[in-house]
Structure 1
Amino acid sequence: MGVMQKLVQSAGDIGRIVRAGSYSVSGLRAALRKEAAFRQEVILVTVLAPLGAWLGHDGIERLLLIGSLVLVLIVELLNSAVEATVDRISKKHHKLSGRAKDMGSAAVYLSLLLAMLTWALVLFDHY
């Protein structure tokens, strides 16, 4: 079977697409149930996204304001996945486990800084 044929077959596999969507919804539900930081960031996005849509003067600014917030959620989900994986392997403290968790936390921190910088620069440009 050629590459093009496989691409066409994959695109038409509606069952796989539905299953993938179901897994994604399950992941979001788990994060909302189990991760306090994710819940806090969802509240932040719920409040700030409409504000970003209103404050942005054009599509690009709206994308920057809202997209930077969504990026925080994405990074938080990845951080939570790293933490769950590390905890699944062992609850015992290990230097590499601590490093993995710290790096995930640093990624969330940088995404928050990026969101704050994006909002500051866009809003500063207007006022």
Structure 2
Amino acid sequence: MTPRSDAEFEAERIGSPGRARRVDVRRTLYSFRHAGRGFAWALSSQANLRVHLLIAFVVLVAALFFRFTAIEFVGLVLCFAVVIAAELINTTLEVLIDYAWPEHHPMIGRAKDVAAAAVLVAAGAAALVGALLFARHVFHLS
């Protein structure tokens, strides 16, 4: 018996290219449940996440008031999604670091600071995009 190549093994594992893989709906729903539970925990424990969501809500309501175009609205939603995702990743890193290394270490502090800086960069970029979009409507720029 000859050994199978990696390509043959992979083709057998995922099925033939012409055959669609069956989606396990229960498994997918289970994944969504875990994600929802994680988001709920982050929302209940992270004040900054609540602040970002409140700002997003206020800005999106203001965008409706100023009659933003669909593409402008999508731009705002994408900016907020990036900020929220960065905040969730930052929270994940902080929780993992605090669990793995409960004692303080300068390098751990630096890692946490860098993760927080990623959120700051995302929030700053979102604020700039929002300011430019609102300036167009407030000052009637074309």
Normalising by the smaller structure, the TM-score range is 0.7 to 0.9
In structure 2, how many angstroms separate the alpha carbons of the residues matched to 1:109 and 1:13? 38
Asked which structure has the greater CA Rg, the reply is 2
- In structure 1, stretches of 5+ residues that fail to align are none
Alignment of 1:62 with 2:62, yes or no, is: no
1:37 to 48, 53, 71: 48
| Structure with higher helix content | 1
2:38 to 24, 27, 52: 27
Aligned residues: 126
SS of 1:8's equivalent?
coil
Report the more deviating stretch, 55-64 or 73-82. Answer: 55-64
In structure 2, how many angstroms separate the alpha carbons of the residues matched to 1:28 and 1:119? 25
In structure 2, how many angstroms separate the alpha carbons of the residues matched to 1:24 and 1:124? 36
1:8 Cα deviation after fit: 3.3
In structure 2, how many angstroms separate the alpha carbons of the residues matched to 1:33 and 1:85? 17
Residues 12 and 63 of structure 1: CA distance in aligned 2, closer, same or farther (over 3 Å): same
In structure 1, how many angstroms separate the alpha carbons of the residues matched to 2:86 and 2:132? 21
1:52 Cα deviation after fit: 2.6
In structure 2, how many angstroms separate the alpha carbons of the residues matched to 1:57 and 1:117? 16
TM-score, length-normalised on structure 2?
Answer: 0.78
Alignment of 1:8 with 2:20, yes or no, is: yes
Residues 115 and 56 of structure 1: CA distance in aligned 2, closer, same or farther (over 3 Å): farther
Residues 22 and 120 of structure 1: CA distance in aligned 2, closer, same or farther (over 3 Å): same
1:117 is aligned to 128
- In structure 2, stretches of 5+ residues that fail to align are 1-11
In structure 2, how many angstroms separate the alpha carbons of the residues matched to 1:124 and 1:103? 31
In structure 1, how many angstroms separate the alpha carbons of the residues matched to 2:127 and 2:136? 14
2:105 to 91, 94, 116: 94
TM-score, length-normalised on structure 1?
Answer: 0.86
Q: In structure 2, what residue type is equivalent to 1:21?
A: F
State the Cα RMSD in Å. Answer: 2.1
Q: In structure 2, what residue type is equivalent to 1:24?
A: A
In structure 2, how many angstroms separate the alpha carbons of the residues matched to 1:38 and 1:15? 29
In structure 2, how many angstroms separate the alpha carbons of the residues matched to 1:46 and 1:57? 15
